């Protein structure tokens, strides 16, 4: 019985993080689109997908928004729910630093 409860405990709290493979049609529907929040305010433009994040260029900074929080209608992307701006900026800047290390990356501010 105790073994069963321990197994249920660990199974219930294991990581639910899934690495979803992005198809080319999903990539095309999410990149180079204007991104709006739920109230219709412009956040910026999507420029890349990295893992499970959509990278958005927004007024000289970069934002990283999880894919599960965005939906696209083909012409624009809408972020569902509230955006934690500090965390989004942290994730976006982490992406920018990684891209700067790659050869041929051009960063303009």
Is the whole model's pTM more than 0.95, yes or no? no
For 67, residues 6+ apart whose C-beta sits below 8 A from its C-beta are 20, 30, 49, 52, 53, 54
Domain, as residue range, for 50: 23-101
pLDDT at 13 over 50: no
Is there a domain that residue 38 lies in?
Answer: yes
Is there a domain that residue 68 lies in?
Answer: yes
More confident residue, 104 or 50: 50
Distance between CA atoms of 80 and 75, rounded to whole angstroms? 16
Residue 16: predicted pLDDT: 41
pLDDT at 24 over 80: no
CATH of the domain at 95: 3.10.20.840
pLDDT at 15 over 80: no
Residue 73: predicted pLDDT: 84
Per-residue confidence band for 107, with pLDDT thresholds at 50, 70 and 90: low
Any idea what the Cα angle at residue 55 is, between residues 44 and 39, rounded to 5°?
A: 40
């Amino acid at each position: 019985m105790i073994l069963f409860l321990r197994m249920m405990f660990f199974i219930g709290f294991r990581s639910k993080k899934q690495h979803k493979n992005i198809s080319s049609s999903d990539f095309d529907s999410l990149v180079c689109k204007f991104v709006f929040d739920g109230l219709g305010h412009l956040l910026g433009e999507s420029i890349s997908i990295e893992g499970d994040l959509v990278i958005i260029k927004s007024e000289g900074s970069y934002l990283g928004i999880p894919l599960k929080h965005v939906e696209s209608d083909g012409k624009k992307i809408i972020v569902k729910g509230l955006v934690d701006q500090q965390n989004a900026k942290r994730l976006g800047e982490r992406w920018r630093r990684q891209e700067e290390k790659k050869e041929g990356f051009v960063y303009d501010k």
